[in-house]
Amino acid sequence: MVFSSIIFLLFFLPLFLICYFASPRKFKNIVFLIFSLVFYAWGAPQFVFLLLVSTIANFYVVQKMYYSSKRNNRKILAALSIFLNLGMLAYFKYANFFVENVNLIFEALGISAMHWTEVLLPIGISFFTFQSLTYTIDVYRNVNAPLRNPLHYILYIIMFPQLIAGPIVRFQTISDQINNRKETYEDRLTGFYRFIIGLSKKVLIADVLGMRVDEIMGSDFASLDSTSAWVGIVAYAFQIYFDFSGYSDMAIGIGRMLGFKFPENFDNPYVSGSITEFWRRWHITFTTFMRYYLYYPMGGNKVETKRRLYFNLMFVFLVSGLWHGASWNFVLWGAIHGLFLILERVFLLKLIKRTGKIFGVVYTFFVVLLAWVPFRIDGFTDTLIYYNRMFSFDWGFLQFPARQHFYFILILAFIISYITSFKFGLKLQDLVYKTNLKSKEHILYFGIAVVVNIIIVASLTGSGFSPFIYFRF
Amino acid sequence: MIPKILFSVLLVALTLPALQVFYPVFEEKPLNGVFIEQELPNFNTDNWFNFEFQHKIDKYLDQNFGFRPSFIRLFNQLQYSIFSSTQAAGVVIGKDNYLFENWYISAYTGSRFVGEDLINAKVEKLAQIKDTLEKYNTKLIIVLAPGKGHYYPEYIPDYYDQKFDKTNYQYYKESLNKTSIEVFDANNWFTNMKDTINYPLFTKTGTHWSDYGATLAADSLLKMIEKELQYRIPHFYWNEIEFSNNPRNADNDLEKLMNLYFKIEQPLMAYPLCYNDTNKTDFQKLDAIVIADSFFWQFFNGPFAWSFNDIKYWYYFGSVFPDNYSSKTTTDDIDIIEQLKSRELLIIMASTANLYEFGSGFIEEMDSLMNIEKRLSLNEKMIVTEN
């Protein structure tokens, strides 16, 4: 079930909110848990038991680890928990990829291929595995005590707002809120406004861009002109940003309605003046995870040689690429980012400082665009052809009159993405995301949110309704 | 206090579309157009675990939540008013909001030209079919119905700027003219009349010939039938014409399909008030078969049909009307040769867009049936000779 669907917006969410708010305080978490299980089971019925069993097992392993007095036992149990989590991730997400590559090598060596039944990928495994890891590691490092109630732990792992696409909520961020959170009408309303902001980004912007992107990416690249290739990748850059940040806004919004304070995940990434800055603004909770649980343990910046520092950076980004998907194209995406981060450390940052902010922003967007190509396209050959079309400078027409809606949204996406480069844009952003509203302001915000919600539902249902005059036969 | 009230209002508002499903308090105007209706699936563990149940429930609820028609009309109106676009299948918004189905534009530009060889082969088969039908005493008439793209090229959006050398209409016309097949070229007739006639033969927001255009075409076709068959058949007449800016019948079929809140502004349209001359009795009514696309509906349901004893309408050479109204009947269920033998007239009608698949498979089917007949009669002859 996705948030931007009729079943979620008009059936699941209203029913959940009524049950949740009608429940006495002590049953709220149970209601939340039951709805989260239904939410997950709806999209991945065959994996819900696996998720439950692995989560419960991890809960008890971590508890045993925490109460173990021997240091070695703690280490072994922590390793077991990490192995359990990463093992599941490795099997479900990377086994197919691994076998595929081994078979390619076998084929090159003239050995017959391994027989393998393709493994299905459980929805959200990358996200809940990371959350589970933060729990194990934070408890191991004594940052937090483990939860006492297994239901609370299951809830932390599978609470539906952030289960499928984040933000990745570190255990230490919400450990207190699971047991003891404060719900106010102010939060319920501002949470709803935030949800609507996210839903608008997803439905009114990302989905509109996505339709054209799919057309371009589904075409024969060899006959694509440069205009279409650039339009396709620029539109994709905005599509993925509005889609992903929209989803985060929705998760944060629902969380806030229930009294949770989830961390922010995006901070206007396209205004970044460098790739280094981009990664402070893009998918912040993921970057934070990688920094605390991989980069720092490898030594981070505090290493003896620059070579080691560059190795650490590249390694983290190659792993980041693989986390996004089991394909060499994602590794290439990570490699491009890693390479430019290293180049920035070597000389580019100094150059950007001298040339000014605008050059930095243009350069960053250009590199990000180049990296989005392998991220969006399947297969290395097609990626190369697409690059070739982008830089063949064989320009075609924009077809503006036939695609007014798309270009209007593309321009709007551009404006929204870059307006915060200016002071008035930041003020506008603060106004849109404002919390602690006065009563009169609530009436205004509420009215706007309801109207926008009606347009979103209209858009969701209307965009899929294409009737015919008659059936032909 | 205000946040509390607003939040309560929110909860009520969010539940309204679901409540309307179970307790339909508000009456809603249904949507126009045809679409596949989703059915509520039965639950079992198999379809739950293979995701079929969830998928079907999603689809069912997408189509069956409260106030859906209003939501869809809102979306369509916004799309139309802001971006001049529509979701209705195949509909293109042209200049001055003239509506087209895109295949009529393609028929005009020639982008769906099927090629000379294919057309030549088809026309050759048609000539053979004509000869065979003559043996059955059945007359064949081809009607090249008009297309909106050919009639209103000036309203086609500029982005359809690529015009090809040949169109299916143009080449079929040339090819048919080389044979002795009778052709009623309504497309040419309409475009020639366009500048001299007072009322539109195609409306602004319809895809078929206008009520007025269809009436003129039906009248001319009847005269042609009478001449070709040398029968006296009853005619319809009109003395009076009503005028309206509100389209009637199918004259705004594309606009209806767009499901908008507000009507599109229309020029004045003409509606002849037809009547049948019941005083005349010295005529014969014909039995006919018509293989046609949707352009024939206005004839089938209009005064044209008054001149016939019985018309079987083989819609796209698929469903058989009027039989299909009582029980599902298709051309697969009937003996085509016997049907043709029992009729005085066969009309094959195709508008410019449907020349892409002229005959909707009838020509090929008939060709194959004729070959079987030939083989059978050859066999019979051989048996007689041997004996």
DSSP string, A214-231: HHHHTS-GGG--HHHHHH
CA distance A311 to A301: 11
B252 close to A (CB below 8 A): no
Q: Is the pLDDT of residue A48 over 80?
A: yes
What confidence tens digit (pLDDT) does each residue in A146-176 have? Answer: 888 889 889 988 889 988 777 888 887 887 8
Interchain proximity B18–A14, CB inside 8 Å = yes
CA distance A279 to A418: 17
Residue pair A378/A334 in contact (Cβ under 8 Å)? The answer is no
Q: Cα distance from A289 to chain B (closest Cα, Å)?
A: 33
Distance spanning both ends of chain B, measured CA to CA: 107
Q: What mean pLDDT, rounded, does chain A reach?
A: 89
B2 close to A (CB below 8 A): yes
Res B17: pLDDT = 92
Q: Is the pLDDT of residue A275 over 50?
A: yes
Residues of A with CB below 8 A from B296's CB? none
Residues of A with CB below 8 A from B43's CB? none
Of the listed A152, A324, A337, A405, which one is catalytic? A324
From B32, B34, B72, residue closest to A458, measured CB to CB: B72
Partner residues linked to B62 by β-bridges: none
Enter the tokens of residue B98.
């003239």
What confidence tens digit (pLDDT) does each residue in B259-276 have? Answer: 999 999 999 999 999 988
Q: Cα distance from A467 to chain B (closest Cα, Å)?
A: 5
From B54, B68, B90, residue closest to A42, measured CB to CB: B54
Enter the tokens of residue B381.
């002859």
Interchain proximity A473–B319, CB inside 8 Å = yes
Res A181: pLDDT = 87
Active site residue A324: yes
Residues of A with CB below 8 A from B61's CB? 6-7, 10-11
Weakest-pLDDT range from A185-189, A408-412, B35-39, B365-369: B35-39
Q: Cα distance from A404 to chain B (closest Cα, Å)?
A: 6
Enter the tokens of residue A407.
């270009």
CA distance A140 to A62: 8
Q: Is the pLDDT of residue A473 over 60?
A: no
Res A257: pLDDT = 94
Single-letter code of the amino acid located at A77: L
Question: Which whole-number Å values give the CA distances from A429 to A191, A278, A281, A445, in the listed order?
Answer: 16, 19, 15, 14
ipTM for the predicted complex comes to 0.85
In the predicted model, what is the mean pLDDT of residues A245-271? Answer: 94
Interface contacts A/B by beta carbons within 8 Å: 150
Q: Is the pLDDT of residue A116 over 80?
A: no
What phi and psi, each to the nearest 5 degrees, are found at residue B349?
-120, 135
Residues of A with CB below 8 A from B159's CB? 399, 401-402
Residues of B with CB below 8 A from A404's CB? 83-85
Distance spanning both ends of chain A, measured CA to CA: 35
Res A394: pLDDT = 85
Question: Which whole-number Å values give the CA distances from A196 to A142, A156, A285, A417, A449, in the listed order?
Answer: 38, 24, 21, 18, 6
**To which residue do tokens 């999209």 refer?**
A43
Residues of B with CB below 8 A from A467's CB? 31-35, 88-89, 257, 259
DSSP SS3 for B41: coil
The residue among A30 and A394 whose pLDDT is bigger is A30
Interchain proximity A457–B71, CB inside 8 Å = yes
Enter the tokens of residue B349.
């009608």
Q: Are strands B91-93 and B99-101 parallel, antiparallel or unpaired?
A: antiparallel
Interchain proximity A467–B88, CB inside 8 Å = yes
DSSP 8-state assignment for residue B330? B
Interchain proximity B18–A454, CB inside 8 Å = no
Question: Which whole-number Å values give the CA distances from A438 to A197, A306, A450, A452, in the listed order?
Answer: 19, 53, 18, 21
DSSP 8-state assignment for residue A468? B
Q: Which of A46, A196, A465 to mutate to test the interface with B (most CBs of B within 10 A)?
A: A465
Q: Cα distance from B163 to chain A (closest Cα, Å)?
A: 17
Burial group, residue B27, by CB count within 10 angstroms (0-12, 13-18, 19+): exposed
Work out the pLDDT band at A287, boundaries 50, 70, 90. very high
Interchain proximity A466–B89, CB inside 8 Å = yes
Cβ count within 10 A of residue A407: 18
CA distance A373 to A378: 9
What phi and psi, each to the nearest 5 degrees, are found at residue A129?
-65, -45
Cβ count within 10 A of residue A397: 11
Interchain proximity B87–A13, CB inside 8 Å = no
Res B279: pLDDT = 65
**Smallest CA–CA distance from B11 into chain A, residue:** A14
Q: Cα distance from B95 to chain A (closest Cα, Å)?
A: 11
Interchain proximity A470–B294, CB inside 8 Å = yes
B314 close to A (CB below 8 A): no
Cα A261–A263–A269 angle (5° rounding)? Answer: 145
From A10, A17, A467, residue closest to B33, measured CB to CB: A467
CA distance A72 to A232: 54
Res A273: pLDDT = 93
Cβ count within 10 A of residue A111: 11
Question: Which whole-number Å values give the CA distances from A308 to A303, A338, B22, in the listed order?
Answer: 7, 13, 65
Enter the tokens of residue A426.
């930041």
DSSP SS3 for B350: strand
DSSP 8-state assignment for residue B148? H
Res B46: pLDDT = 87
B36 close to A (CB below 8 A): no
Interchain proximity A404–B85, CB inside 8 Å = yes
Count the helix, strand and coil residues of chain B and give each as a percent rounded to the nearest 5.
Answer: 50, 15, 35
Q: Cα distance from B175 to chain A (closest Cα, Å)?
A: 27
- H helix or E strand, kind and range, residue B154: none
B330 close to A (CB below 8 A): yes
Residue pair A34/A160 in contact (Cβ under 8 Å)? The answer is no
What confidence tens digit (pLDDT) does each residue in A216-243 have? Answer: 999 998 888 999 999 999 999 999 999 9
Residue pair A216/A224 in contact (Cβ under 8 Å)? The answer is yes
Res A121: pLDDT = 73
Single-letter code of the amino acid located at A328: W
Interchain proximity A446–B10, CB inside 8 Å = yes
CA distance A203 to A199: 6
Q: Which of A2, A7, A10, A451 to mutate to test the interface with B (most CBs of B within 10 A)?
A: A10
What confidence tens digit (pLDDT) does each residue in A57-80 have? Answer: 999 999 899 888 888 888 899 999
The residue among A91 and B291 whose pLDDT is bigger is B291
Res A403: pLDDT = 85
Work out the pLDDT band at A412, boundaries 50, 70, 90. very high
Residue pair B51/B60 in contact (Cβ under 8 Å)? The answer is no
Residues of B with CB below 8 A from A203's CB? none
What confidence tens digit (pLDDT) does each residue in A310-331 have? Answer: 999 999 999 999 888 888 999 9
Q: Cα distance from A50 to chain B (closest Cα, Å)?
A: 14
Weakest-pLDDT range from A83-87, A394-398, B72-76, B379-383: B379-383
Q: Cα distance from B299 to chain A (closest Cα, Å)?
A: 17
Cβ count within 10 A of residue A187: 21
Residues of B with CB below 8 A from A7's CB? 57-58, 61-62
E-strand ranges in B66-153 read 91-93, 99-101, 139-145
From B3, B34, B74, residue closest to A442, measured CB to CB: B3
Res A249: pLDDT = 95
Q: Is the pLDDT of residue A472 over 60?
A: no
From B49, B71, B83, residue closest to A462, measured CB to CB: B71
**Dihedral Cα B130, B134, B139, B145, nearest 10 deg:** 0
Interchain proximity A467–B253, CB inside 8 Å = no
CA distance B172 to B174: 5
**Rg of chain A, C-alpha, whole Å:** 24
Interchain proximity B87–A465, CB inside 8 Å = yes
Cβ count within 10 A of residue B64: 13
Residues of A with CB below 8 A from B86's CB? none
Q: Which of A120, A256, A469 to mutate to test the interface with B (most CBs of B within 10 A)?
A: A469
Mean pLDDT per 10-residue section of chain B, whose length is 387 residues: 90 92 87 83 87 89 90 94 88 93 93 93 94 92 95 91 88 94 94 91 94 94 91 87 91 92 92 81 85 94 90 94 92 92 94 93 90 72 62
From B10, B65, B259, residue closest to A10, measured CB to CB: B65
Interchain proximity A7–B58, CB inside 8 Å = yes
What phi and psi, each to the nearest 5 degrees, are found at residue A143?
-70, -40
Enter the tokens of residue A64.
């045993």
Q: Are strands B286-292 and B236-244 parallel, antiparallel or unpaired?
A: unpaired
Weakest-pLDDT range from A7-21, A183-197, B19-33, B200-214: B19-33
Count helices and strands in chain A by DSSP H and E runs: 23, 0
Interchain proximity B35–A465, CB inside 8 Å = yes
